Amino acid sequence: MSKFRVVHYINQFFAQIGGEEKADYKPEAREGFVGPGMAFNAAFGQEAEIVGTVICGDSYFNENLDSATKEVLSLIRGFSPDLVIAGPAFNAGRYGMACGTVAATVEEELGIPAITGMYEENPGADSFKNLVYIIKTRNSAAGMRDAVKIMAPFALKLVRGEKIGASVQEGYLPNGIRVNFFEKKRGSERAVEMLLKKMKGEPFVTEFPMPDFDRVIPNPAIKDLTKSKIALVTSGGIVPKGNPDHIESSSASKYGKYDIGGVDDLTQDTYETAHGGYDPVYANQDADRVLPVDIVREYEKKGKIGSLHQYFYTTTGNGTAVASAKAFAAAIGKELVADGVDAVILTST
């Protein structure tokens, strides 16, 4: 019996080419497995083997979405696979978007099964969970071994054409499709058991998880704006012309800090947006439409506020992982507090 042919899609990091400095790496195909593909290949046993690996840098893929997708698909097609595995991407936003795009495109255009793996807060998970099977993983590559243990058997089940059970049984993220199955205990008995565990403070797993939203307690209102230092922070991607820190157009891995001391107006000759999630024309014509330096500076001159902070902070919000956004906020907030900032005007797109 011949083995199923598998192609593995990974980014520049897992291909051991480099980190962010190699994120613009162009699509490349290699024979056999690379990096984490070794674990998948071993888990497949005698049923399947990775015949080829396709590699692409995260920035290159997301910044050249249409052309990169075509390039990657062409390389995958060249191996004549029966199955494609993308990632897993864990909580890496750009990688997640790339894995989701590759898996969905493979199923749509090549007509063969494809799966990927992601942490549930990865923006790629929300974008593609209804299009492809996404195995739920931990939020970092430390969970690679656990991910492979679930992804490899599920991939084999998929390529064999076997019936796929419910998400709670198989380990994939809920995709809106309900699958009936029989529990060993009836609902009333399970409910009482959960209640007793909750009352005792013991761990339990609910059958109806509710969304978990962050609750931020607002600070007291500023009593006197005329003596307050105000800072500007934006997820709208406003950057000095040329985007000197190369902030990504989506799934940002960094933020920028820029000096606006003495700047009264953000002109089209000096500032632009790096954001890839909205029409940039109006922001590029006048970046003050997203980052209102002009009006805040006017308020400063009229004495309506104490002062405008010397620096503004910026990143792109579209597709950026929640964990990354929280990390940016913590770092930026720490600096603002240290600089004596009293309030922040946070703008989006």
pLDDT in tens, 115-142: 999 998 898 998 899 999 999 999 888 9
Main-chain phi, psi angles of 316, to 5 degrees:
-110, 130
Own/partner long-range contacts of 164-173 (Cβ < 8 Å, ≥24 apart): 164/133, 171/135, 171/136, 172/115, 172/133, 172/134, 172/135, 172/136, 173/118, 173/120, 173/125, 173/129, 173/134, 173/135, 173/136
CATH class of 4-170: alpha beta
- Contact predicate 121/96, CB 8 Å: no
Main-chain phi, psi angles of 214, to 5 degrees:
-65, 140
Choose among 155, 10, 160: nearest CA to 75: 10
**pLDDT tens-place values along the chain, 349 residues long:** 689 999 999 999 999 999 888 989 999 999 999 999 999 999 999 999 999 999 999 989 988 999 999 999 999 999 999 999 999 999 888 899 999 999 999 999 999 999 999 998 898 998 899 999 999 999 888 999 999 999 999 999 999 999 998 888 888 998 776 667 677 888 889 999 999 999 999 998 887 777 777 788 888 899 999 999 999 999 999 999 999 999 988 878 899 999 999 999 999 999 999 998 888 999 999 999 999 999 999 999 999 999 999 999 999 988 787 878 889 999 999 999 999 999 999 999 8
In percent, the amount of the chain with pLDDT more than 70 equals: 98
Main-chain phi, psi angles of 135, to 5 degrees:
-75, 135
* Count of CB atoms situated within 10 Å of the CB of 272: 20
Choose among 235, 293, 283, 292: nearest CA to 263: 293
- Contact predicate 75/30, CB 8 Å: no
- Sign for the CA dihedral angle at 78, 105, 36, 93 comes to positive
Where are the CATH 3.40.50.2300 domain residues in the chain? 4-170
